[in-house]
Structure 1
Amino acid sequence: MKKIRSIFNSGLKVFRPILYLLYLFSFLSKRDVSIWSFGGDYNSFSNGKYLAKYIRKQNKGIRIVWLVRRNIDINKIRKDGFEAYYQWSLNGIKLSLKAKYQFLNSYVFDINYWLSGGSIITNLWHGVPLKKLNYDIKSGPSAKLFNPKYLPRWFMSLFILRLKSSHYFLATSEMTKEMFSRSFKVEKEKCIICGYPRNDSFFTSENDALPQYIQSKYNSDEKLIIYMPTWRDSGNDFLTDSKIDFSELNKICVKEKYKYFIKLHPLTSIDTSIFEKFSHIHLLPNNLDVYPFLNEVHCLITDYSSIYIDFLLTNKPIIFYPFDLEKYSTQDRDLYFDYSSVTPGPKATNSQQLMKEISRLGRTEAEYLEKYNHEEVKEMFWKFHDGKSSERIYNFFSNMD
């Protein structure tokens, strides 16, 4: 099967001129405004998943279809009750040519771009940026793709779908609107400020139950801490580089009645067996959606991951552990901001400092929010904090025609 997929993908590149002709012919297809297609990963960070669930719940006569690449688990989507097909299947081709509105999670390869002519493509993206994105990246491995020294961007975009822009882009505030417009080459007026559908779950009582995996390792008198570090472009084993003393951490968690859960980026490759000997430290499954229970988490620990920007909406404590800040910002990815100015929480740069901050979590949340200017930073990134992001997006597009 892998060999067949490899041959198929190689064929797409060889016959790129034919695909461009196919793209032009797709403009002749009559689009149906009642068909909304979604593409990309169906995971925790998928705004598309949460938007699609909202639309289905409203029962507005919209046909929701997921048209995905072969590397996506289509059965997982169907198990959630959605109609789903692979992009180049017969049904996938038909619906790619019919759908008026197409939503993606990252780049246009999330949908069947070659059959998208005449449709309206919207990038829901998967995180408010702290790290520089796309054309704003000036250093690190990704800079070679978005800002090559010897080839013009328009020429590169002929061969790399990741460089093609969507028609609309989802933003969360006036500031992020500017950033997304510049970094993705989308007109500023086409960057719509609605908020993220996945964060709507912070403002509802429908997600009170903790996942079974967490319940099995958690007592009601304990508090949850979740550690969610970001992905490094360099691919280094950053968890080893972080030099966290997990034995000492486990002792603190036992004493303070904390359960420490680690949620790594799906691309992270580490030896997970190192956590098996600890009673209060657990590695969360890659496919576990954290958003429905983030409101139950007492504290988030992270470094540069945009998850903290979402977590600001919960008004809960955040501890930052940027142990490799200088290396990360120079070798992996530039940052948009002065790190200390937009990270409202204590900073630990080594394991000893991290242990100290975790031990001090007993402070009241009110004292924490006031000390670290939490509200000021939250307002920078979020125009809305009302749980109505999906509603705004739905209304915007349904009122377009």
Structure 2
Amino acid sequence: MHSYPTRPASPMREHLHSSDTATPERPLSPASPTPSMADLLSRIEATEALGGQISQAIEQLVDAVLHLQQPAPSTPAAPAADPAALAALERRVQALEQQTQLAQACQELTRTAQFHPKERSVVFVGTTYFGCNVKYAWLAFRERARQEGITAWFLPQTAQQEQAVTSLGEACFPLNPNDWSTEHVHAALSAAVVVTCDHLLNPNPYAAALLAGARHVQLWHGISIKEIGLRNLAPLRQMSARFARVLSTCGPYTRLVGTSAAQEPEWRRWFGFAQYAPIGYPRNDVLLREPDAADLLNVDQDIYTLARKTRAAGQRVVLYAPTFRDARRGTWLLESGLEQLAQGLAKRGDLLIVNVHPVESPLIPQLALAIPTARFVTPRTDLYPVMRETSLLITDYSSVMFDYLLLDRPIVLFRPDHQDYITRSRQLFDAKLDEHPGPLATSAKALLDMLRQPDAQAGKFAHVRAAMRQRLFDHTDGRAGERFCDLVLDELAAAL
């Protein structure tokens, strides 16, 4: 995840969600009286007084109202305004009012959060799926929190996350902002520490403002060879409010967690933070120990069980986990030769598990029909316990390759569209790969030929993987969760 030229065609779309918008506009109630032109103009004028940043939209609305008021050129008197046009205009005014009121409320809540008294409370912010560093950091911290008299809240991003957290009897904010009580608002404003592993873009539009006064620990979601954060920019002609919002969440953090001290300069290219903590990623602990019941929350149980049985039977489990493309989204997979790969591995008796990136997961039904011998991981599930049950990894630019080093198993790089990727999707920070952790294939045929020589793959690149693991991981003991707990206690002490 990632002087270098930037890639205008890559506006951080994997971090932009449809939920990252203002409160949805409410439909015009059939029972509501039809608004008058004077009423609409009055409301627009009042909204304009609150929101100088949306003056262009307001001018357009005013023009629309005045246009509806104008008489037709050939008639002496203005005809009655079209009810449908008035209703559409009313909805636009309502949306504008809500957007402006939300922006103003968040501005004031941000200020409130910065002086609100803090308590021994930590908020873990869920990302698009329950299976990244925040999941494992939160699981690791629960018992320590109870011992130390600390409240550990979870802020979900999906209903599934809310259900998973509440099923364990832990403190969880409601997913729906309308369900937040005064106690929930107080808890968010009182939080001394907030923990994230991605851009803080929660569906609750008030969340970031309510947590603005907390010390911010950023775990991120993996070592990157792609340019990310402050190095993943767009020209101003492509700039939007949502894109700018993502950039604004690239800091400032109190601490950014990484896996090795040597990587600090890279992270400072991408994010703004005060201190760097090379303690390791909590999610990697499960690669080095048997998962427990909580670890298996949001894991594709069918795939996990199948992989365990297959390896236990002495067969090879091949995991293919590519990243997504900004350009040719999804279609590149159909053209990559995946069907040829699946057929070749099936003939050999291998199990092929494919983990499609969530951004491209809508293509899975089509892929599953075309490639019946492959097994596809359920989108937005936790892959890490499954990774532990695989024999080798095929990937391209995904940070999964670095985590897989901890297992010391073969890695094969498959980049069938490399030039198109670096031209139209992402600029690479590939210098960290002075040597690849495994062989590089650019076609499905070449990839299959490599996979037919498992003995050669097992040892040829072992020294490269070992050197890379030593450089990228200061700790390989499976105790990142423990070090994270100590870090949070330090942050609480500093806040209080």
TM bracket, shorter-chain basis: 0.7 to 0.9
Do residues 53 (structure 1) and 101 (structure 2) align? Answer: no
How far apart in 2 are the matches of 1:72 and 1:12? 28
**TM-score for the superposition, normalised by structure 2:** 0.69
Superposition deviation, residue 249 in structure 1: 3.1
Quick one: which of 132, 144, 152 aligns to 1:64? 152
Alignment correspondent of 1:140: none
Determine which of 375, 388, 394 is the counterpart of 2:479: 388
Pair member with larger Rg: 2
Distance in 2 (CA, whole Å) between partners of 1:81 and 1:363 is 49
- Tell me which residue corresponds to 1:129: 224
Distance in structure 1 (CA, Å) of the matches to 2:423 and 2:371: 34
Deviation of residue 339 (structure 1)?
A: 7.6
1:97 partnered with 2:115: no
Asked if 2 retains the 8 angstrom alpha-carbon contact of 1:200 and 1:388, the reply is yes
Identity %: 19
What is the correspondence of 1:114-263 to structure 2 with a 5 Å cutoff? 114-137=209-232, 143-144=233-234, 148=236, 161-187=248-274, 190-206=275-291, 212-214=301-303, 215-216=305-306, 219=310, 220-234=313-327, 235-244=329-338, 246-247=339-340, 249-255=342-348, 257-263=349-355
Larger deviation: 50-59 or 221-230? 50-59
Deviation at 1:343, TM superposition (A): 2.7
Contact 1:66 1:83 in 2 (8 A): yes
8 Å CA contact retained: 1:27, 1:117: yes
Question: What amino acid does structure 1 have at the position aligned with 2:24?
Answer: S
- Give the direction of change, closer, same or farther, for the CA distance of 1:37–1:270 in structure 2 (3 Å limit): same
1:49-91 CA-partner distances (Å, limit 9, x unpaired): 1011111244423322112346774223323443212363224
Structure 1, unaligned runs of 5 or more: 138-142
Measure, in 2, the Cα distance between the counterparts of 1:282 and 1:97.
45
Contact 1:121–1:167 (Cα < 8 Å) also in 2: yes
| Distance change >3 Å, CA 107–CA 274, structure 1 → 2 | closer
User: Within 2, Cα distance between the matches of 1:176 and 1:392?
Assistant: 18
Give secondary structure in 2 for the equivalent of 1:85. coil
* Structure whose residues are more often helix by fraction: 2
Shift of 1:396: 1.9
SS at match of 2:249: helix
Per-residue CA distance 1:302-347 (angstroms, 9 max, x = gap): 0000010111111010011011112211211111124862531010
Unaligned runs of 5+ in 2: 1-18, 27-94
Between the aligned partners of 1:52 and 1:281, the Cα distance in structure 2 is 33
Looking at structure 2, the residues matched to 293 and 159 of structure 1 have their Cα atoms a distance apart, in angstroms, of 31
User: Residues 327 and 251 of structure 1: is their aligned pair in 2 closer, same or farther, counting only changes over 3 Å?
Assistant: closer
Q: Is the 8 A contact 2:356 2:364 kept in 1?
A: no
Asked if structure 1 preserves the Cα contact closer than 8 Å seen for 2:300 and 2:378, the reply is no
Give the distance between the partners of 1:266 and 1:375, measured in 2 at CA: 30
1:13–1:164 Cα change, 3 Å: farther
Separation in 1, partners of 2:291, 2:335:
39
Q: 1:306 aligns with which of 373, 376, 399?
A: 399
Q: Is 1:194–1:384's contact at 8 Å kept on the other side of the alignment?
A: yes
* 1:341 aligned counterpart, secondary structure: coil
